Amino acid sequence: MNKTIDVSLAGLLFHLEEASYYKLKKYLRHVKNSLDETEDAEEIMNEIEARIAELLTKKISNPQQVIKVETIDEIIEIIGKPEDFEAEKEYYQNKESFQKKKLFRDTDKIIGGVAAGFAHYIGLDVSLMRILFILILIVSHGTFLLVYILLWAIVPKADHKLSQSKTNKTEFNN
């Protein structure tokens, strides 16, 4: 004889074996911990619980049926492990930081900092970017010089004090 525990998920009542209950509770705790830093963590947890309730409803044939550990394992396999949520969260955070990236001139560099700014923006070595700019200048027979001067005038200067303070805050938080 196994002990059963009644659980309410998304407003629906389910009867779980004791081992199933603890496995589901542990899973939901891990998912919640992986989402703690997310601003929509509570909403996401509600959606996950609703999805679990939906899957459990499909798995059982009778509302009085007791849910076994194997059923919980199947549901965890369908929804995914908490590590998957962390990897997905990291992907979206990187995607957001990439989308917010702006072009600035690096004024600590040679001749206006346009090439250095472009190098930082696209993640290339500054020397390689300068060589690329010189090649474009030669190929364009000097026309690129006008474009460079225009970029020098249009692209804003980078505020190094601000970027250093952000770096220090990031290092402190990690």
Per-residue pLDDT reduced to its tens digit, 108-164: 667 778 888 888 788 888 888 888 888 998 999 888 888 888 888 888 877 654 444
Per-residue pLDDT band at 171 (split at 50, 70, 90): very low
Per-residue confidence (pLDDT) for residue 109, from 0 to 100? 63
Per-residue pLDDT reduced to its tens digit, 48-107: 899 999 999 988 888 788 999 999 999 888 888 777 665 555 655 555 555 566 777 776
Round to whole Å and give the CA distance between 48 and 86.
15
Round to whole Å and give the CA distance between 104 and 167.
17
Q: Domain map of the chain by residue range?
A: 4-99, 111-173
Pairwise pLDDT comparison (121 vs 23), residue with the higher score: 23
Per-residue confidence (pLDDT) for residue 160, from 0 to 100? 52
Q: Which is nearest to 156 in space by CA: 127, 119, 113, 122?
A: 113
- pTM for the structure as a whole: 0.50
